[in-house]
Amino acid sequence: MATITILGAGYMGSALGVLAARCGHQVRLWGTWLDDDLVQPARRGEPHPRLKLRLPPGIQLYLAPELEPALRGSDAVVCAVNSDGVIPVMQRAVPHLPPRGPLLSVTKGFLADEQGRICRISDEVRRRFLEPAGIQRPWVHIGGPCKAMEVAREVATAVIYAAVSDDVVGLCAGWLEAPYYTITRSTDLPGVEACSAFKNAYATASGICDGLQLRGYPEMFNTKAMLFSQAVAEITRMVVALGGRSSTAAGVAGVGDLHVTAAAGRNRTYGEHVGRGEAPDQVAEQMRRTGELTEGYPALKTGWDLLLQQAEGGALSVSDFPLLQALHRIVYGNADVAETLLSVKVRG
């Protein structure tokens, strides 16, 4: 049995806590300063407000001021906050981290360094926090098609755990694999992280098509399939440019995660509102206020900035990313939604 601390009591953090508790581990679920309305009802034995079920007795709940005891003596720490929360949470957590054990992450996105350059989350956390503190802890990224509500309800799910070391991936997978939760092991950390971030951006395209249909446009099954295929091609190019493997984008980390997010994720919902004609920034703010934060909105900005960064260095060409360019123009450039998205030409 391991002691696992999870930072973030939202959908995925809590679902992982349920999984870990059912696997026989001691779980400490810590809520950030934004999670009081989630932790307090669960502490009273009420259903978790997001998951709509009571948490197993093997989960200990901690409020934001209780970070140090939540981390004390843990065998592993899981980062389960959104990409905007990584820096402030890790800043608070690092002084209290146990001396050994892996850092796992379900956070999907990129971070900008002090110079504005876009970095993978694992690289920026290591550079900004772990190395200055003299901490050497392996990073394990959890990717793949994984709806939190389904994991908490033991619905068959396949995910991918990626780290530089086979041994670390094997250790973490051994802790959390269950009959309904299959774990593929990978050493392609750059590739899996990139897939996790970019699928959020590209899933908005499917939602925009749904929103356009609600405005009277014809059914778009062909169009959605076309854009999905283009998204896979663009994600694959980016994965390879970042040092990952094309096979990663073709598996559960890329195609699988993109499929579930485009079909039933908050990023699809965000895109639907934009397709209906609502202002992209206002949709993002409304979703944030209701606790349904979309990662697709910031991912389109950081993803576009990363593409420009790679193109400046000669690794990629902007012309090979027509879908990403169209989505960025719609969300951040106030471009006409239908005209811009429906003019995308597949480049394969």
With respect to residue 348, please indicate whether it lies within any of the assigned structural domains: no
With respect to residue 313, please indicate whether it lies within any of the assigned structural domains: yes
- The radius of gyration of the chain's CA atoms, rounded to the nearest angstrom, is 20
The 10s digit of each residue's pLDDT in 154-185 is 999 999 999 999 999 999 999 999 999 999 99
Q: Given this model, what pLDDT does residue 291 score?
A: 80
Task: Please give the average per-residue pLDDT across 189-202, as a whole number.
Answer: 97
Q: Is the pLDDT of residue 284 over 90?
A: yes
Enumerate the β-bridge partners of residue 26: 3
Q: Which residues of 182-192 are buried (b: 16+ CB within 10 A; e: fewer)?
A: ebbbbebbbbb
With respect to residue 333, please indicate whether it lies within any of the assigned structural domains: yes
CA distances from 46 to 15, 25, 38, 51, 52 (A): 16, 22, 10, 11, 9
Q: Is the pLDDT of residue 314 over 70?
A: yes
Binned at pLDDT 50, 70 and 90, residue 265 comes out as: confident
The 10s digit of each residue's pLDDT in 15-70 is 999 999 999 999 999 999 999 999 999 999 999 999 999 999 999 999 999 999 99
DSSP structure string for 256-310: IHHHHHHHHSHHHHHHHHHHTT--HHHHHHHHHHTT---SHHHHHHHHHHHHHHH
Binned at pLDDT 50, 70 and 90, residue 256 comes out as: very high
Q: Given this model, what pLDDT does residue 348 score?
A: 66
The 10s digit of each residue's pLDDT in 100-126 is 999 999 999 999 999 999 999 999 999
The 10s digit of each residue's pLDDT in 319-332 is 999 999 999 999 99
User: Are both 214 and 326 inside the same structural domain?
Assistant: yes
CA distances from 128 to 7, 189, 220 (A): 18, 19, 45
Quote the percentage of the chain above a pLDDT of 90: 95
The domain that holds 215 is classified in CATH as: 1.10.1040.10
User: Are both 35 and 106 inside the same structural domain?
Assistant: yes
Q: Given this model, what pLDDT does residue 336 score?
A: 97
Comparing CA positions, the residue from 94, 125, 289, 292 lying closest to residue 193 is 125
User: Are both 128 and 265 inside the same structural domain?
Assistant: no
Better-predicted residue by pLDDT, 99 or 199: 199
User: Are both 102 and 169 inside the same structural domain?
Assistant: yes
Comparing CA positions, the residue from 42, 175, 199 lying closest to residue 104 is 175
User: Are both 177 and 199 inside the same structural domain?
Assistant: no
Amino acid in position 186: S
User: Are both 194 and 151 inside the same structural domain?
Assistant: no
The rounded distance, in Å, linking the Cα atoms of 131 and 46 is 41
- As for how many domains the chain has, the answer is 2
The 10s digit of each residue's pLDDT in 215-253 is 999 999 999 999 999 999 999 999 999 999 999 999 999
**pLDDT averaged over every residue in the chain:** 96
